[in-house]
Amino acid sequence: MANEFKRHRRLRQSASLRSMVRETHLHPEDFIFPLFVVEGATENNDVGSMPGVYQVSYNNLKKELDEIIELGLTSVIIFGVPEVKDPYGKEAYNDDGIVQKSIRFIKDYAPQLTVVADTCLCQYTDHGHCGVVNGGVIENDTSLELLAKTAVTQAEAGADIIAPSNMMDGFVTYIRKALDESGFPQTPIMSYAVKYSSAFYGPFRDAAHSTPQFGDRDTYQMDPANRLEAKREVKSDLEEGADFLIIKPALSYMDILRDTREETDVPLVAYNVSGEYSMIKAAASQGWVDEKAIVTEKLLSMKRAGADLIVTYHAKDMARWLKE
């Protein structure tokens, strides 16, 4: 009788036993906190579609950093919301742009914090696309020059990691070369290698004012139906010299995270995107789900699927809950 079936419940009998056999853990240093810095404002702006998320004004940065550090978070990813936009996204590579200024401030005030710079053009272009537009086409190679310039100004400002997110082919090659030639051979590249054309980005475009003014991003971001394509993207970015790989979005793409984990040995980052955040916030505000429990489960699942790090808007809440 005793050997007719397995007693899995033996290891689930008490909280102590369960904690002894737990395979995955969350730590504050697993999270990269997305920080939106807005130019030309003296107060923070709430983001309507993302309760709890706001654009931080430059003069409020110090206060924001105090909170982030106090919670035990160790890294941020910076997104700029510039005052002016133009067809070529000039503010993205302005030495005095809001992102460059903010990075300088952060590295001066809190040098222990790792600053990841999101390197893209969409918040800075008046058409909202991630590259140069010519006759309705989003050009690849002309966009690469601008991206490389953006990355160099970010590194000069003190960015610890460059994270190109615009999905032009060859961005790792171009940025690596530009960084090396500008005296930054030590600055790692965290590539958004696998970025799907996703409806889950909706609320972010609200937060970063980066909605495309015509068309969509389907000619550069990936088709959600594809799995093998992710393997090709991962392979080329590694060959080009990526130090970290980002998989984005996370929740609906756990299979891709797992595939990538099994095939590579670089640190993997899951991007728990805006739509994934807002859905939980909305349900929690109605009392339909237990926010702390569901966020903990979601972030644990991302690590279990293979992520080493998670970019998440829940970072502050989760760090707070981990302290409890």
The set of catalytic residues is: 195, 248
Annotated binding site for 5-aminolevulinate: 205, 217, 274, 313
Q: Which residue has the tokens 């991007």?
A: 271
Alpha carbon of 7 to those of 4, 13, 16, 320: distances in Å? 10, 11, 18, 36
**74 vs 165, beta carbon nearer ligand PBG:** 165
**130 vs 157, beta carbon nearer ligand PBG:** 130
Q: Nearest approach, Cβ of 283 to ligand PBG (angstroms)?
A: 18
107 binds ligand PBG (CB under 6 A): no
The first and second tokens of residue 170, run together, are 């060859």
The first and second tokens of residue 94, run together, are 């302005």
Find the binding residues for ligand PBG in span 272-291 (CB under 6 A).
273-274
Binding ligand PBG by CB under 6 A: which of 57, 165, 187, 264? 165
47 binds ligand PBG (CB under 6 A): no
Q: Nearest approach, Cβ of 36 to ligand PBG (angstroms)?
A: 10
Q: Mark 52-65 as b/e (b = at least 16 C-beta within 10 Å).
A: ebbbbbbebbeebb
Alpha carbon of 71 to those of 9, 24, 147, 282, 294: distances in Å? 36, 21, 33, 24, 20
258 binds ligand PBG (CB under 6 A): no
Binding ligand PBG by CB under 6 A: which of 75, 166, 278, 312? 166
Q: Nearest approach, Cβ of 9 to ligand PBG (angstroms)?
A: 39
Determine the interface stretch with ligand PBG among 18-26, 118-126, 169-177, 251-259 (rule: CB under 6 A).
Answer: 118-126
Residues 244 and 190 sit within 8 Å (Cβ to Cβ) = yes
**4 vs 218, beta carbon nearer ligand PBG:** 218
Annotated binding site: 120, 122, 130, 205, 217, 233, 274, 313
Among the listed residues 196, 162, 192, the one whose alpha carbon sits nearest the alpha carbon of residue 177: 162
**49 vs 324, beta carbon nearer ligand PBG:** 49
Cβ of 134: how many Cβ atoms within 10 Å? 10
120 binds ligand PBG (CB under 6 A): yes
Q: Mark 156-179 as b/e (b = at least 16 C-beta within 10 Å).
A: ebbbbbbbbbbbbeebbbbbbebb
Residues 163 and 190 sit within 8 Å (Cβ to Cβ) = yes
Element (H, E) at 205: helix 202-208
33 binds ligand PBG (CB under 6 A): no
Tell how strand 75-81 and strand 114-119 pair up: parallel
**205 vs 261, beta carbon nearer ligand PBG:** 205
Find the binding residues for ligand PBG in span 187-226 (CB under 6 A).
201, 204-205, 210, 217
Binding residues for ligand PBG (CB under 6 A)? 118, 120, 122, 130, 165-166, 201, 204-205, 210, 217, 273-274
